[in-house]
Every structure is written in structure tokens, then in C-alpha cells.
Structure 1
């Protein structure tokens, strides 16, 4: 076995070992203890356990690099399925790792480009401009011929880390196996389609390591803003771009959150905040194709010379524009999602809690196993409190009230099989990043002010479809009303004939289950003792420790598996 294969197998086993150990911990506290009547004990320290789990994963991700940092970033956005203690801890996970030696990067680039690096470029700076888990960027000077063809003489070349393809394959294989484990746990499978989540993440990851896809994203984004002086995008040097090497125009300027440099250049940070928000919401609401990672490292403020710029000379445009880079993570709102969101909007506008839940199900964010009664009640409460308010009134509501309601609503959502489409989550994450950047530039920035014009336009654009949907809903209501007497008659006949039974608590079954609890508690205590003893001994005597851990499975099976005589 060669060293590379050995390293990849060790990586695979390490990911699985981490997942297995923490799944056992979660199973013990969240499933087993409540099952034997110790739910209150399990609740003690739950927040601390969740934070520690996320912290340990944070350490693992930074140590392994590769796709695991992307996994952490992906999990930090899954507010719909993970508790806030985990998402909060992981949201600070940055894709910054130690750089690869330039000699290894050079070899990888030459293999991909098919020519020596000194032939492909006049110069490449061996010191990386940025290093990430999947690749790293270096400043470069194109050859005279390439510079003439491309129209620029300064470039940034992005090169994938050597062997990253194999690492991604191993990481995805490990994640798929963990998702299969999760799908066998009923508490998880009833709430989350773990294999689907992994496949969604896998598709995004495979796109992100394909630099041809990123280059195409850059050109599509540039086309959307071709006539807009507020935005610029680096040109792609296609002659020096492949799936693993991407060469772009060097457009480095003032980082959008560098307030001191902006002021030194005579640029008002508050104006930048307003313009940035407008540009981002244009992407989301107008183009339906948006930059999904607009953190400060990916946006520059570029001063624009007044000479030759007719808009600037006429005072119609600021003397600067926004420059976007890194188009590996892009979000899109397809027509199906737009149509679903339109139905959600109509239900929300009419303060129809049940209609809103039905629309959410149509969008596909609730799994078929969802019991929506509690969600409908929560939506009704939401509309009762905030439904009649305009933007101006909402801005006056105490933020603590929003936070309290959001916490209660978040707890409810996480109790349901609620799984938001990835593009919808990307949109929410993007809005959060927009708010963060704008607040840094202007402490008085109010997100409502930026969104309000788009909301008003959405209302105007949706009037006609809203009327159509309202008409369809009225027809459906009339049809239901006409069928109701017949259905009631059938139900009465069914009760009289004994075909419809009214469920009552099955006392005998419950008493039998309670009688077995005592025996299961003894098994649970024995399992815990063997497992803990084996774990402690394993560091000194791995054979004895492993034997005890294996032996603990026998009382474990008795404690958790249903009896064949009547089940639970």
C-alpha cells in the first residue's frame, strides 16, 4: 500500500470514528435516557454538549482541511435542522489553511496546463495571495502574447491543491456512510433526509472544485451587470484556465470593510453600504442569480477615474464601483422556487396560517412525515402579532420581541422534518452577510430600508397572479363545501356500522411496557459500566478495553431493542 493510499484510508477512518463516537453520545442523551424516563437528566447541560461537539468538529475540520471545512460552513447554514449552539459555533469557521509548498503547486499547475509554468506565465509570485482548503491563489504576470489577447497585464492564478480530487472523494464517501447511519435512527430520519442533504452538499462541492464552472459563473454574473457602472467583474483568461487552474484579471483594490482606507480615498462608507445592499438585492430579486459568499474578502471598492466616465462627470454615479471576485459559490432562484415563494407570499399577505403551511409543503421544505398542526398554530400566532404591520411599524418593534419569537419558532422548526432547499438557505445566509458588512460600514444601517423597495415591487408584480390564486382558492373552497354534507353522512354511517373506531389509550400495552422498564434499566446500567470501564482501560490495555466495550453491546441490545413479545 503506497503512502498516499494509507493517508487517505486513515483520513476516512478518522472521520467515521469522530462521527461514531459523537453519535453514541447524542444517542445516549437524546434517545436512551428519555426512553427510560430520564429526560430531565438528559436536558441538563444539553447546550454545553452541543457547543463542545461543534468545537471538536471545528478542530477536526481545521486539522483535516479538504472538504471538511466546507462541511462545517455548510452545517453552519442549516438553521432548519441543527440547534443554534452548533450553527453559531461553526459560523466562524474560515476557509484559511496552511499553504502548500510552491514546488508542489507548480508541479500541479504544469501537469494541468501541459507546459512549464515559466512558459505559461512571464512570472508567478511563489508567495500565495490566499490559501484555502481546496486551492490557493498567486499573483502572476501573463506572457506578452496572452496579455495582448486577454486585454490585461496583471493576473491572479488559482491552482487546486495536489490530490484534492482524491481527498474530496474520500470525504464524500465518509459523509455518505454517516448519512446512512443517520437514516437508520428514527428520531433523525423522521426529521431530516440525511442522505439527500449529503447529496445536495456533494453536488455543490463538485461544482466548486471545477474551475471551468467558476469561470462560467463569473461571465454570467458579468453579463447581468454589463450595463451597470456600479459593478465590475474580473475578466477570465481562458487560454490559461482548466478544471484545476483558473486565471483571472487582478482587480485587487480597497477591501469593502476597510473603513479607514475608504475615508482616505474620499469615499463615504455609508454610501458604500447603501450601494452594496442595493446591488446584492438586485442580484437576488431582479436577476435571480447571486453571489452567495459576499464576505469582505470577496468584494473590493475600486475608485473610478472621473475622466472618460460620462456618468461620473454628470454626477450620476459615484467615483467608485464595487468589484466582486470568487464565483465558486453562487445561488440561483429557479422558476419553480419563485413560483413556490409566490404562493408563500400570497398566503402570508392574506394572513392564512394553514395556507402558508400548505404552500411551504408545496415548495418541498417539509418531509411527508411532518405533523403540521403545531406549525399552523405558530403561523397563526405570528400573523396575530406581526401580520398587520407595515415596514415602518415593524422597525419600531422591540428587537428582543423578535428574538424571543424567533427562538420559540426556531425550536418548533427544528422539531419538524423541515429541510429548506439549498438555494433558499444560501439566500438567507447571503442576506445575513449583507447585513453584517453594511453594519460594519454604517452603524445606523437598517436592513428594512434596503429591502422595502423590493418588497413593494414584489407586491406590484404579484397582484395579477395573486388574484388568480385567490380565485382558484375560492373555487376549491366552494367545491369542498359542496362535498361536505356527503362526507359527513358517510362518516355517520361508518360509525353506526362499526367501520370507524375511536382510539383510546391502550392501557394494557402501556402497563406491560412499564413492567419491562425495570429490566431495561438494569441492562442500561450494566452497558454503561462495561462501556466506561472499557474506555478507561483501553489506554493501558487495548485488548481488555476493546473486549469490555464489545461485551457492553449485549446489555445494550436488551435495553434498546423492542421485545418480540408485543414490542414496546
Structure 2
């Protein structure tokens, strides 16, 4: 057996020193029967060889001291060292001739090579790894781990930079957390019977969070890797718009109240926002969820201490109309002279005041959330103004006062009707008004049956709102077709019925005058003057673009808006935001009114309808009753009409060179 040991030492140990530093790794499993590991370090001895021939070739046994000085091999990591210890120590059983390492030995690692022959089985020789070698192995292993970790971090950073912050590990972690919350909310509110019971603040907030996450996901998913102008961008962004609009409809329908009011505002921005939003959210202009009669009874009990049947005759249980903040019931009222008249009873949705501030906070949160992913979307400042406006609308006493003030301003106009208020049956949350029958202003078929001249109706409609803006500075700020009815006067003229007076805006006198001059200059195509007054109103360096937002000519409005988008490219939303943010807040509501007028202009097929408003804006510049002011007004109006005719003549002769009222091409 000692001769076998000598053979292993000569072939394995003495020849290992010159080559040991060239080894970088080894295999974890050593099969001494079938594999030749490395003939520079070990000689594999097969069963078929004659052991005696091998013994004759070996020299004398080397000293034990030299054995301990030679390292066997380098292994790649600590696991391999442990593997050596576990697998190759004490292999071969309890051979009496086996060399062992004393317990007090300074070496730490032991490896045993086993030789199998025909005559000898389970023979073994023990080798040791010096402490210095093992430490070098471990040190090399640690450096390898550090390098591997550094490479991994560099790869992750490269992936983050390539795909953007939304797809970074941090971004996806945030989205994952939000997804869990959102999906949890979905599971909570899905059962129909639980929706009303779970209409708590945190549930409403989670609905907002869920909708915000979906909207963000749709845009990021469908526009991933695409830039404006790329193939497929237009198709994908339409899909994203459609899905995002549906998410908003679902949110508004579930949360009701303030959210439906916001949906109505969005639906009125038809020349700014994508048509997918306008079409989807327009449903809330006429139809909104309503509450049961039992809820109405409770509100009456709180507000008046009475049941509706104690105050009215034949109070209809189902509402005839439902809006964002209230629903309307038809009833009959017996007056002091025993006359019975039809009335419209407007009933505010229960609990709306309590939810108001929390809902505004929720909307602010979701706008902030969207801004994180879409930095160009900076419209959260609108909520401050919306909050002020909505608080007015929730006070029905304030609405009643607005309607009476409006009636006084147009007291001489026989073609404008405003429902009478019955104060004895009115509170802060219940409003009783005269019931007026009429046809919606956008109902072409109904207007034709009444025999209404559409052009005459348009001039009446645009003049009434132009007087509010340019002359009186007191503007009905919630105009939409549902609030405008039409009927005939006794002499066959169109009579415009103006409903819903909850939101009015008093326009500052200086703002009113500047806006009159701006409108006049836009109609005349006077770029220099229009930019001057646009700057005075706060449009700043974007003064030339304000005219595009104010344009009432539908065909020119969309054409000029497209030109504006081409010029500004991806900065269009940023510019619009800057213009709206810096304008007086009264002008925001003027823009909303302009949108309605533009819709009616398109619906009626009226051309150059904005000129009718321009004549009214001249009247707004000269509002005095003295003879000098009146003379100035008539002279200016005469000059204006002549200028318009000249411009119209030139336009027909050379259409590409003149565009009214936009000033866009005066700068290009």
C-alpha cells in the first residue's frame, strides 16, 4: 500500500508545482474511473491496468513536509471547498495504511484521491490545502462576487435608461403596489348590492386611484417605444384615448356628484381635447344617475321638516331630469289665490356637501399622480377655480338670486325667459321654479316642428351671451344644450329659455374692456393689436395662440389648431396650459361659453356667426349713455362693418392669403 502512495505522490504531487498557477477553475465532481481530470496533477488509474507495472516506475516516497507544502488545486468558490471536504475526505473507509491528519494540524482543507484496482479497493491517500491557498481562494471568490454584482447593477441601470423611469424597477414596484390596491378596490365594489353601502370616502378615493392607474397604464402600454409621427402612433393613441375615456366614464358614474360635473366640463372642451373623450363624456350632459324617492323624502325632512306631498300637489316620484349635482321633479303648486301651477323642484343629492371637499382632494391627487407620468399635463391648478365655482352651485339660494339678477339685466328683452323662483318653497338644497315647456336648442327636428328660423335663433342666442360677456360682465358659466330651451313668443319669434343659474362669474371691468378690444382685433385680423391685448390679459409670449383658442369659426378653429400643433409639436399641451394658467380666471369661463357657441354654430350651419358677437363687443367698449359715447359707438360700428366687407371681398378673391379671425398666418 505504501508503494501505491508513492506512485500517487510522484505522478500527482511532484509535477503539480510548475503548473498550479495556470489553473482557474475545476469541476465539482471528480470521477476517477471514467474522467481524466488533468494529467498534470493526477494520473487516473483504470481497473484494466496492471498495478505492478505502475509500481516499478515510481521512485522513493517523498517526505511528509514536502507533501504539506504543495497545494493540490485551486477551486472556484467556497462551495467547492466545502464539496471537497464533504465528498473526498475519508473516502475509502478505514484502511489501516491510510495517512491521517492530526487534530492539531494547521491545515484546514483535506482531499482524498481514491485508486481502484483489481486487487485493492477503497485505498486512499490524503492531501491538504495550506491555509494561505484557501484564503487566496476565498479572496478571489469574494472579488468575483463583487464584480458579478457590479455587472448586474450596470445592466439594470442600462435597462432603466433604455425604457424610461416608468419601467424602472422603482417604477414597476410603485405600479405593482398601486395595482394591488386598485384590484382590491375592484373586488370590493364589484357586487352591485354593495356599491351604495360602501360609498365611503376611502372607497371613493380607491376608485379614483384605480381609474388613474388604468389611464396611465393605457397610455404607457400603447405608446411604449413610439414617438409622434411614427408608424402606428396615431392608431395606438386613439385606442388609448378610447380606453382612458371609458375609465373616466366608469369613475364618474360610480362616484357621481362632483365627478359628473368635471365630466361635463371636459365634454365642453371639444376643440382642445381628443374627440374620444368628448364623445364618451357627453353622456353626462343630459343623463346622470339619480337617487330614489326615499332619499328625496329624507332631504325634504331635513330641509323643511315636511314631506314633499305636504308642500306640493302631485309631486312626481321619478325625476324628469338628473344632472351632476341635483335632480328635478315635476310637481304642482297651489298659490295663495288658489291658482294651481306647474313647477320644477330641483333637489340636491343627499350627502353631496359632506363629500365635496374629499372629492376635490381625490381629484387633486389623481391629477398629481398623472402629472408624475406625463409632465406636460399640468392642469391641476384648475381644481382651485373649480372648487370655488362648485361651492357656489351647491347653494340653491345663491342660484335663485343669480336668476333674478339676470332677469333684471335683460328686463327689456322679450325673447329671453328665465323661470320665476318661488321663495317660500326654496332652501339651500331645494329650489322651486316655474316650469317652462320648450325644445332643446340642439333638437333640430323639434325646432323645425315649431317653425323656428335657425339663423334668427342663432343671432338671438349669440347676442344674449355676447351681452353677458362684453356689456354686463356677468356671465352664465354653465352653458350647455340641456340648459337652453326654445319656445315661440306670441308673435312667432323664437324665445330662448335659460335654465340653471347656479354658476355665474363677475368679470372685472378692466378685463372686460381688454377682452372687447381683443375680440374686435381678432375679427379684423389685426395681429399687432390682438397680441397687445392678449399680453395685457396674461397670455405673455403665447399671445398669438390665444386667438386660436377663442376662435368661433368652426372650420378655421380646427384648421388653425392643427397648425398650432404642428408648430409646437409635443409642446402644444404645455403652451395651452401656460395660456390658461396665466389668464384671468373669468376668461376660463368665457372659453367654456365660446365652446358652446361654436357647437351651436356648427349644429345650425351658420357661417361667420362670430361677427354678430363682434358688433356686441364694440357696444361693450362704449357703454356710456351720454351723446358723445353713443356717437363714438355708431361711428366705430360703421367703420367696423366696412372693414369686414373689405376683408370678406379680399378673402373671396384670394382665399389662401386671409384667414378670419385667426392671426396665426400673420406670423408665418
Q: Normalising to structure 2: TM-score of the pair?
A: 0.54
> Which residue is 2:354 aligned to?
166
| 1:157 aligned residue | 345
Identify the residue that residue 427 of structure 1 maps to in structure 2. 590
Counting only pairs closer than 5 Å after superposition, residues 504-519 of structure 1 correspond to structure 2 as none
SS in 1 for 2:285: coil
Offset at 1:41?
8.8
* Match among 552, 555, 559 for residue 404 of structure 1: 559
Q: Corresponding residue for 1:131? A: 322
How many Å apart are 1:350 and its aligned residue? 8.8
Change (3 A) 1:328 1:280: same
Q: Displacement of 1:249 after TM fit?
A: 1.0
Correspondence for 2:331 among 135, 140, 144: 140
In structure 2, distance between residues paired with 1:268 and 1:357 = 37
- Over 3 Å counting, the alpha-carbon distance change for 1:226 and 1:215 in structure 2 is same
Structure 1 residue 174, shift from structure 2 partner = 0.5
Residue deviations 1:440-464, cap 9 Å, x none?
A: 4x44554145334235546778999
- Matched with 1:208 is 393
- Residue 305 (structure 2) aligns with: 114
Q: Is the 8 A contact 2:332 2:340 kept in 1?
A: no
- Give deviations 1:179-203, integer Å, cap 9, x for gaps: 4445667934xx7352x21111111
The answer as to whether partners of 2:516 and 2:618 remain within 8 angstroms in 1 is no
Cα distance change of structure 1 residues 274 and 377 upon mapping to structure 2, 3 Å threshold:
closer
- Residue in 2 aligned with 1:19? 212
The answer on whether the counterparts of 2:473 and 2:509 sit within 8 Å (CA) in structure 1 is no
Contact 1:274 1:438 survives alignment (8 Å): no
Distance 2:317 2:454 in 1: 34
Instruction: Tell me which moved more, 65-74 or 219-228.
Output: 65-74
Cα root mean square deviation, aligned: 4.1
The partner residue of 1:324 within 498, 501, 518 is 498
What is the match of residue 510 of structure 1? Answer: none
Q: How does 1:38-53 map to 2 (within 5 A)?
A: 43=233, 45-53=236-244
Cα deviation for residue 128 of structure 1 reads 1.2
| Corresponding residue SS for 2:419 | coil
CA gap of 1:86–1:255, structure 2 versus 1, over 3 A, is closer
Aligned partners of 2:601, 2:374: CA distance in 1, in Å?
43
In structure 2, C-alpha distance between the alignment counterparts of 1:273 and 1:90, rounded to whole Å: 25
Residue 578 of structure 2 aligns to a residue whose secondary structure is coil
TM-fit CA distance, 1:248: 0.6
1:40-99: CA deviation from partner (whole Å, max 9, x where unpaired): 699562343233212321232233322212122223445798556545654554351233
Structure 1 residues 24 and 68, CA gap change in structure 2 (3 angstroms): same
Gaps of 5+ in 1: 306-311, 313-317, 367-371, 383-390, 466-568
Superposed, which structure 2 residues align to 1:244-393 within 5 Å? 244-305=429-490, 318-319=492-493, 321-341=495-515, 344=518, 351=526, 359-365=533-539, 372=541, 375=542
Query: Aligned-pair distance for 1:221?
Result: 1.0
**Partner of 1:222: helix, strand, or coil?**
helix
| Residue 198 (structure 1) aligns with | 383
- Partner residue, 1:177: 365
Change (3 A) 1:54 1:138: same
Once the two structures are superposed, residues 342-382 of structure 1 have per-residue CA deviations (whole angstroms, 9 ceiling, x without a partner) of 574688679556x755754542356xxxxx4xx478799x9
* Separation in 2, partners of 1:211, 1:379: 35
| CA distance 1:248–1:228, change in 2 (3 Å) | same
Q: Is the 8 A contact 1:81 1:192 kept in 2?
A: no
User: In 2, Cα distance between the equivalents of 1:400 and 1:232?
Assistant: 32
Matches within 5 A, 1:78-93: 86=277, 89-91=280-282, 93=284
Whether contact under 8 Å (1:33, 1:41) holds in the other structure is no
Q: How many pairs does the alignment contain?
A: 421
Contact 1:33 1:39 in 2 (8 A): no
Distance 1:128 1:38 in 2: 47
Shift in Å, 1:415: 3.3
Match of 2:10 in 1: none
- Structure 1 position 104, deviation (Å): 1.6
Q: 2:264 aligned to 65, 73, 89, which one? A: 73
Higher relative contact order (CA 8 A, sep 6+): 1
Matched residue, 1:414: 573
Q: Secondary structure at the match of 1:429?
A: helix
Using the TM superposition, give the Cα deviation of residue 159 of structure 1 relative to its aligned residue in structure 2, in angstroms.
0.6
CA contact (8 A) 1:211 1:245 kept: yes
SS of the residue aligned with 2:412?
coil
**Kept in 1: contact 2:415–2:493 (CA 8 A):** no
Paired position in structure 2 for 1:470: none
- CA apart distance, 1:437: 3.4
Q: Residues of 2 paired with 1:362 and 1:451: CA distance?
A: 21
Query: Deviation string for 1:415-460 (max 9, x for gaps)?
Result: 32424255323323323323433554x4455414533423554677
Partner of 2:613: 451
Q: Shift of the alpha carbon at 1:15?
A: 0.5
Greater alpha carbon shift after TM alignment, 422-431 vs 133-142 = 422-431
What SS does structure 2 have at the residue aligned with 1:427?
helix
Per the TM alignment, residue 280 of structure 1 is displaced from its structure 2 partner at its CA by 2.8
TM-score, normalization by structure 1: 0.62
The answer (yes or no) to whether the contact 1:255–1:297 under 8 Å persists in 2 is yes
1:233 aligns with 2:233: no
C-alpha distance in structure 2 between counterparts of 1:159 and 1:378, whole Å: 42
Deviation at 1:247, TM superposition (A): 0.6
Q: What is the CA-CA distance between 1:287 and the residue it aligns to?
A: 2.0
**Partner deviation per Cα, 1:155-186 (whole Å, 9 max, x = no partner):** 11111122222333332120122344456679
Q: Which protein is richer in helix relative to its size?
A: 1
Q: How does 1:46-65 map to 2 (within 5 A)?
A: 46-65=237-256
Point out the structure with max Rg over C-alpha: 2
Q: Post-superposition shift, 1:274?
A: 3.0
